[in-house]
């Protein structure tokens, strides 16, 4: 055996130990930090939640409230439910926020409707009161997301009463958000046999398919003027990738480890890819000026470490916004452009908790 190869093999256990210790050190650091000095766009950071997994926090149109999903067991959750809180008065470290969803089934992707008196979200509760099962760990060790066929999209008032069911399709309808203009909803559905984007009116009428390329299209948001959409997408190209995607989709699963950011007009025209970074690029949102996009990505590590980045619509000017050593995602700006909200594993005392943070945004 070549001596250099032998030396490398001898070093492998020490390299693995060093890597593990480095990861533990990074976790220890991030578990007690709220603000990193490199995060120059974020000022006066405040932690809003303090346990469980809390994500997809989005502002009301008047910027006074947020709605989000949480599986925090101390709030009585068996799986994700939808909660709302007032940003000025609430203290979620001592008081549970108001639950808007029914408490049955699994919910996801909530968003305020225009007027701030009702909330949009997807739920499986019509099929079953219990939480649908989480997919078992796969023998091939692929990381997958479930596409629950029992998800439909509902509108509830602030007293938890469901006032409208917007979809009634025997398949996946979820990931709905509302245009800042207040006239349209965009959502993801598998009604075509693939996971595509659709728009509809606020009452669920005039459903229109927006995307039509093979791959998962989801997590879409409108631009501030309502004229464009930004979303995450997988685009399997090779025969092997296409086969894998279709086989997983037949099991109601997607593998989100290879996704890029795309934009198009709100009618689907002028579709173009913004990022070409590799890894998982997702959770995009337009900046208040509509000229850039913030998104979460692991392109630097291809592993669990996700940070939030900003990029121009033409793919230039990539800039890192957050610098946590584990996970930052689900960014959103307030409608007046003054606040920035996101979910992070920072300051979780070494647990796996994902909490919501809010900051003043500075250019």
The CATH number of residue 295's host domain is 2.120.10.30
Residue 62 lies in a domain: yes
Banded model confidence at residue 28, pLDDT cuts 50, 70, 90: low
Question: Which of 185, 168, 165, 174 lies closest to 114 in space, CA to CA?
Answer: 185
Confidence of residue 30 (pLDDT cuts 50, 70, 90): low
The tokens of 141 are what? 């060790």
What is the pLDDT of the chain when averaged over all its residues? 92
Contact 280, 257 (CB under 8 A): yes
3-state per-residue secondary structure call for 284-346? EEECCCCCEEEEEECCCCCCCCEEEEEEECCCCCCEECCCCCCEEEEEEECCCCCEEEEEECC
Cα–Cα distance, 156 to 271 (Å, whole number): 33
Q: With contact defined as beta carbons under 8 Å apart, do 41 and 62 qualify? A: no
In a domain, residue 4? The reply is: no
Does any domain span residue 13?
no
Whole-model pTM: value is: 0.91
pLDDT in tens, 331-352: 999 999 999 999 999 999 999 9
Long-range CB pairs of 114-119, under 8 A, 24+ apart, other chains included? 114/61, 114/178, 114/182, 114/202, 115/61, 116/60, 116/61, 116/62, 116/64, 116/65, 117/157, 117/158, 118/155, 118/156, 118/157, 118/158, 118/163, 119/67, 119/82, 119/84, 119/155, 119/156, 119/157, 119/158
How many independent structural domains does the chain possess? Answer: 1
The confidence score (pLDDT) of residue 16 equals 36
Does residue 280 form part of some domain? yes
pLDDT at 306 over 70: yes
pLDDT at 19: 36
Which is more confident, 137 or 230? 230
Report if residue 128 sits inside a domain. Answer: yes
278 — pLDDT class (breaks 50, 70, 90)? very high
Q: How far apart are CA 248 and CA 245, in angstroms?
A: 5
* Domain assignment of residue 342, yes or no: yes
Residue 336 belongs to some domain of the structure = yes
What pLDDT is stored for residue 31 in this prediction?
A: 72
Is pLDDT of 4 > 70?
Answer: no
- In-domain check, residue 18: no
Provide mean pLDDT across the span 232-253.
Answer: 97
Segments forming the whole domain that contains residue 321: 31-361
* Token pair listed for 40: 């120059």
pLDDT in tens, 182-222: 999 999 999 999 999 999 999 999 999 999 999 999 999 99
Residues paired with 70 in a beta bridge: 54, 81
């Amino acid at each position: 055996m070549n001596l250099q190869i032998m030396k490398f093999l001898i070093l492998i256990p020490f390299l693995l130990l060093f890597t593990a210790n480095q990861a533990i050190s990074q976790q220890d650091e991030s578990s007690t930090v709220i603000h990193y000095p490199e995060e120059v766009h974020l000022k006066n950071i405040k932690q809003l939640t303090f346990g469980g997994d809390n994500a997809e926090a989005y502002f009301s149109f008047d910027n006074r409230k947020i709605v989000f999903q949480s599986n925090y067991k101390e709030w009585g959750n068996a799986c994700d439910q939808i909660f709302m809180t007032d940003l000025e008065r609430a203290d979620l470290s001592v008081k549970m926020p108001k639950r808007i969803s029914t408490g049955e089934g699994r919910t996801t992707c909530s968003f305020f409707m225009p007027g701030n008196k009702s909330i949009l979200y997807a739920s499986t509760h019509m099929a079953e009161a219990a939480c649908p099962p989480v997919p078992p760990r796969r023998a091939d060790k692929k990381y997958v997301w479930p596409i629950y066929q029992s998800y439909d999209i509902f509108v509830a008032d602030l007293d938890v009463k469901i006032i409208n069911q917007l979809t009634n399709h025997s398949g996946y309808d979820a990931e709905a958000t509302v245009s800042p203009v207040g006239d349209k909803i965009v959502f993801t559905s598998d009604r075509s046999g693939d996971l595509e984007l659709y728009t509809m009116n606020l009452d669920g009428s005039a459903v229109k398919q927006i995307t039509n390329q093979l791959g998962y299209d989801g997590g879409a948001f409108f631009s501030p003027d309502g004229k464009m959409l930004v979303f995450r997408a997988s685009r399997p190209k090779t025969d092997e990738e296409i086969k894998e995607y279709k086989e997983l989709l037949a099991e109601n699963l997607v593998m989100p480890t290879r996704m890029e950011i795309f934009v198009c007009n709100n009618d689907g025209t002028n579709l173009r890819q913004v990022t070409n970074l590799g890894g998982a690029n997702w959770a995009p949102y337009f900046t208040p000026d509509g000229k850039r996009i913030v998104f979460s990505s692991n392109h630097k590590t291809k592993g669990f470490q996700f940070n939030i980045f900003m990029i121009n619509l033409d793919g230039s000017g990539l800039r890192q916004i957050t610098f946590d050593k584990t996970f930052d995602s689900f960014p959103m700006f307030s409608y007046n452009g003054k606040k920035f909200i996101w979910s992070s594993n920072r300051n979780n005392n070494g647990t796996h908790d994902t909490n919501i943070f809010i900051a003043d945004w500075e250019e």
